[in-house]
Chains A and B, each alone.
Chain A
Amino acid sequence: MTQILSKKHQQETQTNMELDKKPSRAKTLASGLVPFVFVIILMIYIFGPGSELLDFGVPLPEVTIEMVDFVDSEIHTTVRNTGSIPVEIVMADVNDRIQPAAVEPDRFLERYETALVRIPFEWNEAEPYRIGITIEDGTRFEKEIEAAAPRLEPSLELIGFFAIIGTYVGIIPVMIGLMWLPFIRRLSKNKYHFFMALTVGLLLFLGIDSIEEALEASTENLASSFNGVLLVATVTILSFLGLYYSSEKLIQRVKDSPYAKPVAIALMISIGIGLHNFGEGLAIGAAIGLGQVALSTFLIVGFALHNTTEGLAIASPLAKEKKSVIGKLAAMGMIAGAPAILGAWLGGFMYSPFSAVIFLSIGAGAIFQVIIVIMKWLREENKNSFSSASIVSGIAAGMLVMYLTSIFV
C-alpha cells in the first residue's frame, strides 16, 4: 500500500517537476503561498469571533518555578507561565506557610511571561526549602530546593575562583592529554588506528553524556511546554548538520595540503569538546551557584581525570602531522579547555536552565559530527571496513575508559 502510494507520489512530483519547467516566478510564488493562505483561513476560522470550537475541554493554568535564588533576607523566585492561558500570581509561601511577597514587574502573566517573586524570609543556609506559588484559581505550584545557598554575586575573588576551577577541569587535563602526542607518533599504523578508534569511543561517550545532561537539565528546570526532549533533539541535530556541512567545506578547501586534513579533524574535535566543556562548566558553575553540590576536591579530580582523555582525542589525528604542531596543539587545547571557565562563570552567576540545555545540545551535535568525520577517515584508511580488531577494541576501550573515569565525577 505504501509502496503504491509512494510510487504515485513520485509520479506526481515528476509531473509537477515537468510542469514547473518553465514557470514564471510569480506563479511559483503564488503556488507556494496558496497553502499558507489556507492555513491563515483555518486559523481565522478556529480563533475568529463566533467560533465555539475551542470551548470544549478545560484549559488548565500552569506556572513553572524556574529559579530560586537565596539572597540577603529574601528568597527570589522566577516564575514562568507555562500553561496555555494567562494567570495571576496571588500568593507565595515558603514550606507551605503563607508569606507576604512582592511580584515584579506585576502579578499578571501572559503565556511564557515571567515574573520575579521576592519573598522576604530569613532563610538558613543548607536547609531544604519548598517554595510555593498560588494562582488566582487557588492552584498551588511548588519547587523543592535541596539546600539553600546564597546566590553568588560576581566578585573578583569568585571570578578568579571559577577561573581556577575551569582551568583545573578544562585546560590542564586537556593539555596533559595532548602530551600523548609523541607517544602516538611512534606507533605503527594498526596501533594508531586503535588510538583513533579510542577517540571515537571517548567522543561517543561524551556525546551521550551531553545529551543525558541536557535532558536532565530540561526535566528538572524547564517546563513541559518546552518539550525538553524534542528541544534537545532539534538543537543537537541542527548543530550536527551545521558543523557537518561547514567541516566538509573546510576539509575540501584544505585538500591540496596533505597534512591539513588531520589538522582540520583535530580542530573539529577541539571545537566539539570545547562546546561540551562549556556545558560542563555551566553545570559545575550552576551546581555551585544553586547549592546543589558541595564542590569537593574529589569532584575536581574526577573531572580532571575524565577530561585528560579529551586531550588524547585531539592529539590522535595530529600524530601524522610531521611539522611542528606545538603552537596548534596549544591553541586547540585552549579551544577545547577554556570554554569550561566561561561556562563556570555563566553557570555560577547567571544560570538559566534554557541556555544550559541549548549549549549542552549544541555540544552533543558537535561531538557526533566529529565522530562521523573520524569514522569516515578510519573507514577509508581501513579499506572501507570497520571490522578490524584495532578499531573495534579502540571504540570499546574508549567507552570503558570514559565510563570508569566518570564514576569519579
Chain B
Amino acid sequence: MAVRMGFVIITSRCIDCDACMVACRAENEVPLGFTRNWVTNKGIAGLFPNVKQMFEPGNCMHCDSPPCVAVCPTGASHKREDGIVLVDDVKCIGCKYCIEACPYDARFPNPDTGKADKCTFCIQRLEQGLQPACVQTCIGKARHSGDLNNPASVVSQLLDIYPARQLLTQAGTGPNIYYIDVPVPEIPAGK
C-alpha cells in the first residue's frame, strides 16, 4: 500500500508546554507572529471530582483531499506521493487563496518570503531519518508521526489499540491527524 504520512496526537499526554511550537520555529525559521503548529485549550470537561482540562495540539493535517491544493491557481500547493502537502515557493504567487480555503487555518502568509507557509512535516529531517522537530521534542510523548498505512508504525499501533477522532470531518478533507483522548499509559514500540 502507498505511504500515507500522518500524525497521531494523544491529548491526554499534552501539558501545553508549547515546546512543539518552539522546536518548529527553531527548526524551520518561522517568522515571529506566525506559527506552523499550535496548542489549543479546549477547556475543562467533566464533573467534580472527575474533571480534566484538554489541550489539543495541531498543525497541517496533510489531508487526503486538501482544499488548499484544489484552489491553488499555479500548482504551487501540491500533495506528494507519500501524502505530505507542500508549497513550491518557485510557483507560489502569494495570492493567499489556499490560506482562505484551509478549514483548519493551518497556513499563513509568510512576510519574509511573500509565499504561503505551512507545516512541511520537516521533510529535511525525514530525509535524514529523523522525526519532525515537534515530535522529537514532545516531552509528554503526545505527538507521534509516521506512515499510517504501515501496520508496524507507532501511529498504526496506537490507532489499533485506542479510539481516535479527526477534526472537521464534515468539511470532507480527510485529515491525517488522529486524536486520542483516552489515557495512553505506554507508547507501543514501532517504527
A and B assemble together: no
